[in-house]
Amino acid sequence: MSEKLKPSLREEQHPLIRQLANVIESCWQQNLDLSPFSLPKGLGYVEGRLEGDKLTIENHCYQTAQFRKLHLELAKVGKNLDILHCVMFPRIEYALPMFGCDLVGGRGQISL
């Protein structure tokens, strides 16, 4: 059975969250030699409900020689809450800091 392709969640998100997600992935692609990072089956794209609202989560994960995991997660809760979660986990052989950020958009505002 073939899996139905879904459009990227970012097209439904707040424009600033969509723009940052695009910039992050573009920066990774231009500056790092990306390889896929395997996610457990069913965790790349998840749909469910949270307190009565539709919940959609989309995960993108990569790895490189310098980073054991690059994780970009987009989430949408109902019609009014958009989330971008980004974490970069360096490999222990490199003196790099761990980086993480979360942006939450709701009611026309973005918070870090």
Domain residue extents for the chain = 10-111
The pLDDT tens digits for 47-66 are 999 999 999 999 999 999 99
Q: Can you tell me the mean pLDDT for 23-34?
A: 97
Cβ 37 vs Cβ 70: under 8 Å = yes
The pLDDT tens digits for 68-107 are 999 999 999 999 899 999 999 999 999 999 999 999 998 7
Higher pLDDT among residues 79 and 33, named by residue: 33
Please state, in angstroms and rounded to a whole number, the distance separating the CA atoms of residues 73 and 1.
26
Q: One-letter amino acid identity for 65?
A: A
Q: Can you tell me the mean pLDDT for 2-19?
A: 77
Q: What is the pTM of this model?
A: 0.87
Q: What is the DSSP letter of 78?
A: T
CA dihedral (46, 49, 53, 55) in degrees, to 10, reads -10
Cβ 55 vs Cβ 76: under 8 Å = yes
As given in the structure block, the two tokens for residue 15 are 């424009």
CATH architecture of residue range(s) 10-111: 3-Layer(aba) Sandwich (3.40)
